Amino acid sequence: MQDFIAAAEAAADAAGAVIRPLFRSRLLVEAKGDNSPVTEADKEAERTIRALLAERFPTHGLLGEEFGTERGDAEYVWVIDPIDGTRAFVTGRPMFGTLIGLLHHGRPVLGLMDQPVTGERWIGVPGQGLTFRGPLGGEAGTRPCASLAEAELSCTSPYMFTDDEAPRFARVRDAARRVTWGGDCFGFGLLALGLVDVVVESDLKTWDWAPIAPIVEAAGGRMTDWDGNPLRVGCPGQVIAVGDAALLPGIMALLRD
Work out the average pLDDT over 27-56: 81
Confidence of residue 91 (pLDDT cuts 50, 70, 90): confident
- Are 59 and 8 in a shared domain? yes
Angle at 15 (CA atoms; ends 11, 16), nearest 5 degrees: 115
Residue 59 within any structural domain of the chain:
yes
- Are 164 and 96 in a shared domain? no
- Are 126 and 157 in a shared domain? no
Q: Output the pLDDT for position 236.
A: 92
Total domains in the fold of the chain: 2
153, 197 contact by CB (below 8 A) = yes
Query: Measured between alpha carbons, how far is residue 85 from residues 75, 81, 95, 190, 221 in Å?
Result: 29, 10, 7, 15, 22
Residue 139 within any structural domain of the chain:
no
Work out the average pLDDT over 118-136: 95
Work out the average pLDDT over 88-109: 94
- Are 236 and 213 in a shared domain? yes
- Are 125 and 154 in a shared domain? no
Over the chain, what is the mean pLDDT? Answer: 94
Q: Output the pLDDT for position 16.
A: 97
- Are 121 and 191 in a shared domain? no
Q: Output the pLDDT for position 158.
A: 95
155 pLDDT above the threshold of 60: yes
Residue 31 within any structural domain of the chain:
yes
Q: For residue 198, give the amino acid letter.
A: V
Which residue segment(s) compose the domain that 169 sits in? 148-255
Q: Tell me the CA end-to-end span of the chain in Å, nearest whole number.
A: 40
33 pLDDT above the threshold of 80: no
Number of H helices, E strands in the chain: 8, 14
- Are 153 and 118 in a shared domain? no
Q: How far is the C-alpha of 23 from the C-alpha of 134, rounded, in Å?
A: 19
Confidence of residue 257 (pLDDT cuts 50, 70, 90): confident
Work out the average pLDDT over 88-93: 89
Q: How far is the C-alpha of 26 from the C-alpha of 136, rounded, in Å?
A: 27
60, 77 contact by CB (below 8 A) = yes
For 85, residues 6+ apart whose C-beta sits below 8 A from its C-beta are 95, 96, 97, 183, 184, 185, 186
Work out the average pLDDT over 141-152: 96
- Radius of gyration of the chain, Cα coordinates, nearest whole angstrom: 17
Q: How far is the C-alpha of 121 from the C-alpha of 132, rounded, in Å?
A: 6
Q: Output the pLDDT for position 32.
A: 56
Angle at 83 (CA atoms; ends 199, 69), nearest 5 degrees: 100
Residue 142 within any structural domain of the chain:
no
Residue 68: give its domain's CATH number: 3.30.540.10
Residue 184: give its domain's CATH number: 3.40.190.80
Confidence of residue 61 (pLDDT cuts 50, 70, 90): very high
Q: Domain boundary at 133, 158, 180, which?
A: 133
Residue 140 within any structural domain of the chain:
no
- Are 8 and 129 in a shared domain? yes
217 pLDDT above the threshold of 90: yes
Confidence of residue 37 (pLDDT cuts 50, 70, 90): low
Q: Output the pLDDT for position 93.
A: 92
Residue 167 within any structural domain of the chain:
yes
- Are 129 and 7 in a shared domain? yes
67 pLDDT above the threshold of 70: yes
Alpha-carbon torsion 29, 31, 32, 36, what sign? positive
Which of 17-31, 42-56, 177-191, 234-248 shows the lowest mean pLDDT across its residues?
Answer: 17-31
111, 123 contact by CB (below 8 A) = yes
Q: Output the pLDDT for position 135.
A: 93
Q: Domain boundary at 80, 103, 133, which?
A: 133
Work out the average pLDDT over 88-99: 92
Query: Measured between alpha carbons, how far is residue 153 from residues 105, 178, 196, 221, 253 in Å?
Result: 32, 6, 6, 14, 16
224 pLDDT above the threshold of 60: yes
